[in-house]
Structure 1
Amino acid sequence: MTRKQQAGFTLIELMIVVAIIGILAAIAIPQYQNYVARSEAASALATIRSVQTDAEDIMVRGLQPVVGAAGANQRALGIAADASDSGTISVANYDVTGIIDVVFTFDAAGVSPQVQSENVTLSRTVDGVWSCTTSIAAEFAPGDCG
């Protein structure tokens, strides 16, 4: 009598593999979502930092920096309000003494839940010092933004 050779995997072996994959996915997916949120926040800061030099130059000339089309005594920052798919860019505050706030506001949908409707603000003081503030939770905020 000849014995038939077993081929393939047993049910228990397959169940163990599926359990391991499930555990790895349970750890990896939230970490990936956190990574995406941090990436979107850093991208927002990089987007508004790109107009920092232009804003400085415009203010030195005694004009008001604006996003989009400029009127009298204004000059455009060279970026559209909807330049990013993640949100909008605006100048929230301006004073002839040299104070300006350039704000990136995330959309309410289409971005990570951790950054939805939050903002990143790049501010200039009268002394010419630029700083970043944000309403995003500290664990997702860009590194130099508090």
Structure 2
Amino acid sequence: MKQNRNHQQQGFTLIELMIVVAIIGVLSAIAIPAYQNYVKKSEAATGLATARSLLTNIDMAIQDTGTFPNDLKMVGATSSMNPLGELALTRSASAGTGTLTFTFKDKSTIKGAAFTLTKRYTGWECSFANNGATITQDELPKTCR
């Protein structure tokens, strides 16, 4: 006499597991490069925001002293106020002009790249040098492309 047993599935088959692994592999192949681009964009925006946060202080120092400051302490900043990079001020030969540069350092995915904000008599101008870093124009903030 045969007994009729109901066999319930006790787990996943090997094929089902392989399909799940393949789906995860395809998703990660798409997600990892997108995440890396997102990190580059956010680091670039952070570096530019750090530099731009000092523009009003620099303008006030120029108004008070008549010359572009040559020391970050004069504008309430330090060269290492952002862990992604370093700030530097450079005074030009003209009294009220100079540059503020943010250079990305080792902790950044765009190491070596730099934003330069230049004070002219007509206002501030932004420029970017990638200096070997792999970053495209589309990954830069729109205010400095």
**Given the superposition, is the C-alpha separation of residues 98 and 87 from structure 1 closer, same or farther in structure 2, using an over 3 Å criterion?**
same
Structure 1 contact 38–141 (Cα < 8 Å) conserved: yes
The Cα offsets for residues 60-99 of structure 1, whole Å up to 9 and x where unpaired, read as 2313313444xxxxxx111100101001000134344422
- Counterpart of 1:7 in structure 2: which amino acid? Q
What is the 5 A alignment of 1:54-93? 54-61=57-64, 62-69=66-73, 76-93=74-91
1:94 corresponds to: 92
The CA distance in 1 between the partners of 2:57 and 2:107, in whole Å, is 29
Q: Identify the residue that residue 24 of structure 1 maps to in structure 2.
A: 27
Larger Rg: 2
Instruction: Give 2:115's match in structure 1, choosing from 106, 120, 126.
Output: 120
Q: Of Structure 1 and Structure 2, which has the larger fraction of its residues in helix? A: 2
1:73 alignment counterpart = none
- Contact kept, 8 Å, 2:72 with 2:89, in 1: the verdict is no
Q: Percent identity?
A: 39
Q: Which runs of 4+ in 1 moved over 6 A?
A: none
Relative to structure 1, the CA distance from residue 47 to residue 120 in structure 2 (aligned partners, 3 Å threshold; closer, same or farther) is: same
Unmatched runs of 5 consecutive residues or more in structure 2: 131-135
Partner of residue 108, structure 2? 111
Alignment match, 1:2: 4
Cα distance in 2 for residues equivalent to 1:144 and 1:68: 23
Contact 1:67 1:81 in 2 (8 A): no
Residues 77/95 of structure 1: CA separation in 2 closer, same or farther (3 Å cut): farther
Secondary structure at 2:138's aligned position in 1?
Answer: coil
- AA in 2 matched with 1:66: N
Aligned-pair distance for 1:5? 2.8
Gaps of 5+ in 1: 70-75
TM-score, normalised with respect to structure 2: 0.85
Aligned-pair Cα RMSD in Å: 1.6
Relative to the length of structure 1, the TM-score reads 0.85
* Alignment equivalent of 1:11, drawn from 1, 11, 14: 14
Is it true that 1:140 corresponds to 2:139 in the alignment? yes
Aligned to 1:36: 39
